Amino acid sequence: MSVSAPVKNLGASPALEICGLAKRFGGLPATKDVSLAVMAGERRLIIGPNGAGKTTLFNLVTGDIKADAGSVKLFGRELLGLPTQRRVQLGLARTYQILTLFAGESLIHNVVLSLLGRHRARLDPWRPLASRRQLYDAALAALEGVGLAGSSGRRVAETSYGERRRLELAMALAQRPRVLLLDEPLAGLSQEERRTVGDLMQKIAREITIVMIEHDMDTALGLAERITVLHHGEVVVEGTRAEVVADPRTKEVYLGD
């Protein structure tokens, strides 16, 4: 069953607008005609059982996979057809379900690499990186924002899983994105770590629109304003938190099958 998203027309273009997005892998349709619109500053939660196509959706938006049909617009700017780094330059950022950090490097170096991504001098082969104090100061500030400033010199391999998740968040926020995609940011965290990261996410400024995939309902529901439920690659239910929770189809999606 497919439901088209009720878009609130505030006269402003949505931060992220997906129309008719589709992707097949061989014979299998992973994403079928998905349309949704996330307004600026919104906190959108995407849920659905395993295999519903949530991460595939993210991968299509970031350009990790090529879409078969449809369109993805970032503040009105079409993203499909652009290489991933171009989409990032336009203001997209993303964290991954499976951590892909620079394990052999220090925490601060990881953030510096993140900052370099949009830095003028990232191809400079001469000037020592360490001499760019502003870069390191900004990196330290980003680490401070997630409570890791004290461990800035430690190598990622020497940190706990919870600290690594926070590092990833710091790296994404350091990019000053306009739209931030969080792919299961709470996965594998302990109860306490979940609270810490959850608090951090609550504090993220409204300039950043957040779209999040999460299984942990307790924390995620606290953050979400609107929820999109995916199943078999299609949008099944969409609405405010209250609407989706009350909708019988939501239960069907999780209990049926």
Partner 1 sequence: MTRRIFIATLVAAMLLLPVVIRNDYYVNLATQILIAALLAQSLNVLLGQGGMVSLGHAAYLGIAGYGCVLLTLSSFNQLTSAVGAVLLGTTAAALFGVLALRASGLGFLMITLALGQIVWGVAYRWNDLTGGDNGIRYPARPSPFGIDLAGAGRFYYFTLVIWALATYAIFRLSRSAFGASLRGTRDQPRRMRMLGHNVWLIRWFAFVLSGFWASIASLLDVYYNLFISPHALSLQQSAEMLLMAILGGANTLAGPVVGAALITLVKNVVSTYVDRWNSLLGVLFVGVVVFMPHGLVPGATALMERLRRSAVRAKFLSGADAAGATK
Binding site residues, partner 1, CB under 8 A: 62, 64, 83-85, 88-89, 93-94, 96, 100-104, 109, 112-114, 116-119, 121-130, 132, 171, 175
Q: Degrees (nearest 5) of the Cα angle 190, 195, 198? A: 115
- Residue 245 CB, shortest distance to partner 1, in Å, is 32
For partner 1, the closer of residues 119 and 195 by Cβ is 119
- Residue 231 CB, shortest distance to partner 1, in Å, is 27
Say which residue the tokens 């979940």 belong to. 194
- Residue 124 CB, shortest distance to partner 1, in Å, is 5
Q: What are phi and psi of 254, to 5 degrees?
A: -85, -30
For partner 1, the closer of residues 128 and 153 by Cβ is 128
- Residue 58 CB, shortest distance to partner 1, in Å, is 11
For partner 1, the closer of residues 36 and 96 by Cβ is 96
Give the contacts of 178 (CB within 8 A, at least 6 positions apart): 15, 74, 75, 90, 91, 92, 207, 208, 209
For partner 1, the closer of residues 22 and 65 by Cβ is 65
For partner 1, the closer of residues 54 and 226 by Cβ is 54
Element (H, E) at 22: strand 16-25
Is 70 within 8 Å of 64 (Cβ atoms)? no
Q: What is the DSSP string of 129-148?
A: GGG-HHHHHHHHHHHHHTT-
| Token duo for residue 76 | 């009105």
- Residue 207 CB, shortest distance to partner 1, in Å, is 18
For partner 1, the closer of residues 199 and 207 by Cβ is 207
Task: List C-alpha distances in Å: 37 to 41, 67, 70, 79, 233.
Answer: 12, 18, 13, 14, 16
- Residue 204 CB, shortest distance to partner 1, in Å, is 18
